[in-house]
């Protein structure tokens, strides 16, 4: 059993327990969001000659790896480890202004932010929003770089601290601290003839919206199939816009799915199950999965078994609680 030392306190870290889980078990909270080694919110820095496991540095820039930075959520130490909070320049933050805020429906808002300094991104990547009290949450980017803003789709989660704040307290002209972009769930235009399959649930539509518009803006020639679903109608949004997009582009196909009982006018069933039943052979496809972690993880396996290469399956899995 390894011992971890943080903030002048030492704790026993159980076998197969992450540093983040260990600290949380002892009532010590680090900033975190995805808990999957993606958003890099829980980055810390090893000290006192200790070395983090190499797999705990996955996705970090080489410069940060050499300085001993690692991600607490995926670090399962096999030997004693001491660490401190990251330096301010580890994941530099910039300020963004709230340019617009509208309601898609009673549960989901469209938030557009204007970065106050240069911010290069690809549609489908995500940013972290930092609140002054230390709360951090991740949101995917639905807009294109040439539009000049970052578009986020924010669902109001019951008891969600960040989502409640963004829905009810953040106003037009307000300032937010963000970092990023992060993630590798984005369109690459090196195979314009390749068929694309995109499956999303809830606000997992946000990155897919950006990826689709990016592909179409670059004259993607292959078929683009979007399956978006939810258990209920209140999480189906941009319905009219997506239907219109399908009318305008002969290679774009949109299917809205509802798995609950009130599914009249929609495809009945879960989006991933409907998608794989309609497109059972994914040989040669590029697949994008966004939404509930269980859907993402199970569909990754099924897409691979249906013929898609693992290199052509893209997803960022996020935990959904307390957002």
**pLDDT at residue number 150:** 98
**pLDDT at residue number 49:** 83
Q: What is the pLDDT of residues 130-189, one digit of tens each?
A: 999 989 999 999 999 999 999 999 999 988 999 999 999 999 999 999 998 988 889 999
CA distance readout (Å), 232 to 191, 202, 206, 260, 317? 36, 10, 18, 6, 21
Residue 153 vs residue 88, higher pLDDT: 153
| Model confidence band, residue 90 (pLDDT cutoffs 50, 70, 90) | confident
User: Distance between CA atoms of 260 and 240, rounded to whole angstroms?
Assistant: 21
**pLDDT at residue number 319:** 57
Residue 98 vs residue 233, higher pLDDT: 98
CATH of region 196-315 = 3.40.50.80
Residues of the chain above pLDDT 70, percent: 97
**pLDDT at residue number 212:** 98
State mean pLDDT over 101-123: 95
Q: What DSSP string describes 34-61? A: SSSSSS-TTEEEEETT----GGGGTTS-
94-182: in CATH 2.40.30.10: yes
pLDDT at 260 over 80: yes
User: Distance between CA atoms of 101 and 173, rounded to whole angstroms?
Assistant: 10
CA distance readout (Å), 26 to 1, 75, 194? 16, 17, 49
State mean pLDDT over 229-254: 95
CA distance readout (Å), 244 to 213, 249, 265? 13, 9, 17
**321: which residues sit within 8 A by CB, 6+ positions away?**
157
**pLDDT at residue number 35:** 84
Q: What is the pLDDT of residues 61-76, one digit of tens each?
A: 887 898 899 999 999 9
User: Distance between CA atoms of 285 and 309, rounded to whole angstroms?
Assistant: 8
pLDDT at 322 over 60: no
Residue listed under structure tokens 């989660």: 157
| Model confidence band, residue 317 (pLDDT cutoffs 50, 70, 90) | low
pLDDT at 253 over 70: yes
**pLDDT at residue number 323:** 55
**pLDDT at residue number 198:** 98
Q: Other CB atoms closer than 10 Å to residue 243's CB: what's the count?
A: 12
Strand residue runs (E) in 104-174 = 108-115, 126-130, 136-140, 150-155
CA distance readout (Å), 41 to 35, 129, 213, 307? 9, 10, 28, 34
CA dihedral sign of residues 207, 209, 212, 217: negative
SS3 track for 244-277: HHHHHCCCEEEEEEECCCCCCCCEECCHHHHHHH
CATH of region 2-84 = 3.10.20.30
**263: which residues sit within 8 A by CB, 6+ positions away?**
257
Residue 116 vs residue 134, higher pLDDT: 116
**pLDDT at residue number 321:** 45
pLDDT at 247 over 90: yes
Task: List the chain domain ranges.
Answer: 2-84, 94-182, 196-315
Q: Note the Cα 191 to chain centre separation in Å.
A: 24
Length of the chain measured in residues:
323
């Amino acid at each position: 059993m390894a011992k971890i030392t943080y903030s002048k306190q030492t704790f026993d870290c159980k076998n197969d327990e992450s540093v983040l889980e260990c600290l949380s078990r002892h009532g010590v909270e680090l900033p975190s969001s995805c808990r999957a080694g993606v958003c890099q919110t829980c980055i810390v820095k090893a000290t006192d000659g200790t070395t983090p496991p190499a797999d705990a540095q996955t996705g970090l820039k080489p410069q940060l790896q050499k300085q001993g930075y690692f991600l607490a959520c995926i670090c399962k130490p096999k030997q004693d480890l001491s660490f401190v909070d990251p330096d301010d320049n580890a994941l530099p933050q910039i300020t963004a202004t709230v340019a617009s805020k509208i309601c898609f429906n009673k549960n989901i808002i469209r938030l557009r932010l204007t970065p106050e300094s240069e911010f290069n991104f690809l549609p489908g990547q995500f940013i972290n929003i930092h609140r002054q009290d230390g709360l951090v949450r991740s949101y995917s980017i639905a807009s294109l770089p040439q539009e000049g803003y970052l578009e986020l789709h924010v669902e109001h989660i019951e008891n969600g601290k960040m989502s409640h704040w963004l829905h009810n307290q953040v106003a037009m002209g307000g300032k937010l601290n963000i970092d990023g972009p992060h993630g590798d769930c984005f369109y690459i235009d090196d195979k314009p003839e390749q068929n694309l399959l995109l499956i999303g649930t809830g606000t997992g539509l946000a990155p897919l919206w950006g990826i689709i518009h990016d592909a179409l803006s670059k004259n993607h020639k292959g078929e683009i199939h979007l399956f978006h679903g939810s258990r209920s109608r209140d999480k189906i949004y941009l319905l009219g816009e997506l239907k219109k997009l399908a009318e305008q582009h002969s290679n774009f196909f949109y299917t809205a799915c509802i798995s609950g009982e009130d599914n009249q006018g929609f495809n009945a069933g879960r989006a991933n199950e409907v998608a794989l039943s309609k497109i059972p052979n994914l040989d040669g496809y590029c697949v994008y999965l966004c939404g509930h972690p269980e859907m993402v993880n199970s569909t990754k396996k099924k897409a691979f078994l249906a013929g898609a290469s693992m290199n052509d399956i893209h997803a960022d899995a996020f935990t959904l609680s307390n957002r």
